[in-house]
Amino acid sequence: DTGVSQDPRHKITKRGQNVTFRCDPISEHNRLYWYRQTLGQGPEFLTYFQNEAQLEKSRLLSDRFSAERPKGSFSTLEIQRTEQGDSAMYLCASSRGLAGDGETQYFGPGTRLLVL
C-alpha cells in the first residue's frame, strides 16, 4: 500500500496560464476525490469519481476547472486561465468506495499552487 501520490508537489505559474495536476490513488480504491484548501481553512470539496464516472461536482468548480479519470485509475485536475484566487493547496484523496470502513478517505500530500 503505497498511499496516495500527487504530482507536482509545488507549482508556480503566471496568471492566465493553464496548469494540470495529477493524482494516483491507493491501488484498488474505486473512489477518488479532489479538494481545495486555502491557508488556515479546512479543505473544500471540488469533485469525486467512482471509477471513471464523475459523480458530483461542487459549484466551486467553475468552467475553468476540469477533472478526468479516464481509466478509473489516476486522475488529472486542470485549471485553465489561472487567476490569483486559484492559489491554494489542491488535495486528492481516495477510498475503496464500499460501505463501512471502505468509505474512509486517505489523503495525498497535495499540490501547492501559487498564481503570480
Instruction: Catalog residues that contact other proteins under the rule CB under 8 A.
Output: 31, 33, 35, 40-45, 48, 55-56, 58, 91, 93, 97-100, 102-110
Tell the smallest beta-carbon distance from residue 109 to other proteins (Å): 4
Tell the smallest beta-carbon distance from residue 19 to other proteins (Å): 20
Tell the smallest beta-carbon distance from residue 2 to other proteins (Å): 13
Judge contact between 36 and 44, C-beta under 8 A: yes
Nearer to other proteins, 17 or 62 (CB): 62
Tell the smallest beta-carbon distance from residue 20 to other proteins (Å): 20
3-state secondary structure (DSSP) of residue 12? strand
**Among 53, 34, 37, residue whose Cα is nearest residue 94:** 34
* Stated length of the chain: 116
Nearer to other proteins, 8 or 102 (CB): 102
Nearer to other proteins, 85 or 100 (CB): 100
Q: What is the DSSP letter of 62?
A: -
Judge contact between 97 and 30, C-beta under 8 A: yes
Question: What is the C-alpha to C-alpha distance for residues 40 and 45, in angstroms, rounded to an integer?
Answer: 16
